[in-house]
Structure 1
Amino acid sequence: MQNTISERTIRRTLKQMGYSSRRPHQVLLLSAKNSKRRLQFTQAHQNWTIEDWKNIAWSDESRFLSRHSDGRIRIWRKEHESMDPSCLVSMVQAAGGGVMVWGIFSWHTLGPLVSIEHRLNVTAYLSIVADHVHPFMTTVYPSSDGYFQQDNAPCHKAQIISDWFLEHDNEFTLLKWPPQSSDLNPIEQLCDLVEREIHIMDVQPTNLQQLRDVIMSIWTKTSEECFQHLKTKEQSSDV
């Protein structure tokens, strides 16, 4: 007769042996200068109301790999074994290629998701700003009370881009964004949701075009309830 051991017994035994079920902590390595800028951003907006935050249009680029790990693997290890080879999961960066997209949304509505065929340079980003940011901001915020958020990527900070925003500062405001603050941007959570939806599909995309089509389809089907109740990654880490 074959004996069986319950999962509960295994967990209890492992804990008695000094093992714990863990996920790696992910933190931003902030310089003192950037930490100060994040604090200044927080202090400058600490009195904003919910209505104020609804006036921000969030944007970002995101890359979806054709092969990926969702980061949900758990292992049993001892305290000192975090870097032991047997406790590591290998990652292949951009294995099989990937799809890069740029997206925008606000509390009021989901904006377009734009496929980026090649590397995002200043010329490509200027086209995105003119063709997608401008109509989105003027349509969603006709009273010119909207704020557009972008991070501090080099192509975002180019002089020609800054000049474009200055020319349109009577239509909306460019939000001053602190460096190294992707965790404060709720669009990160929206892209995570898209990736999770891809991961649970019964039939996975087998090439980049299929992956691109799936990403676009999931994005456009995202419910209002979903994107209106997103948390930043910083808030999520506190839950």
Structure 2
Amino acid sequence: MGKSRDLSEFERGMIVGVRRAGCSISETVNRLGFSKTAVSRVYREWCEKQKTSSHRGSCGRKRLVDDSGEKTMEKVVEANNHATTEQIQALYNSSGQRKPISLTTTRRTLKRLGYSRRAQRQDTLVLAGMDALAEYTSCPEQVETSTDLLKSSSDNEQDPSVATDLTCSNEK
């Protein structure tokens, strides 16, 4: 069976409150919808330690790039905003950090800090789209849309005397 999410402090408090009000484990499960294991574990922890907090956030491997390392990396990126990830890694490692970091750690940290190539590409595409829209709207005489053009081109096949001119009068 898969691992479910952690209970919030509010949910843990609800379990303790319902159990303290005199409900059994089964009644608590039926009322709140949590598993029997979760209800019994949270209530037992509260009875033993008088607290219900989860300590799962303090487990796992410690980060190589902590808060001060993130600040250092931000300074490196701001000073060399056109540098590649390999160059950023080399500059970060030469900046006097205790442990050198790998290229993967550099990329992961940059992503966590909000630096990504994808966002830059999207910004470029948005700017290009805005330029195209500005150019299109700068020609007020051009009111035909692509569906109008399709209709008029099919009409023109039957009547060759009708011509379609898509050039803007401002450009002539």
Q: TM-score, normalised by structure 1?
A: 0.17
Larger Rg: 2
Higher relative contact order (CA 8 A, sep 6+): 1
Between Structure 1 and Structure 2, which shows a larger proportion of helix residues?
2
Between Structure 1 and Structure 2, which shows a larger proportion of strand residues?
1
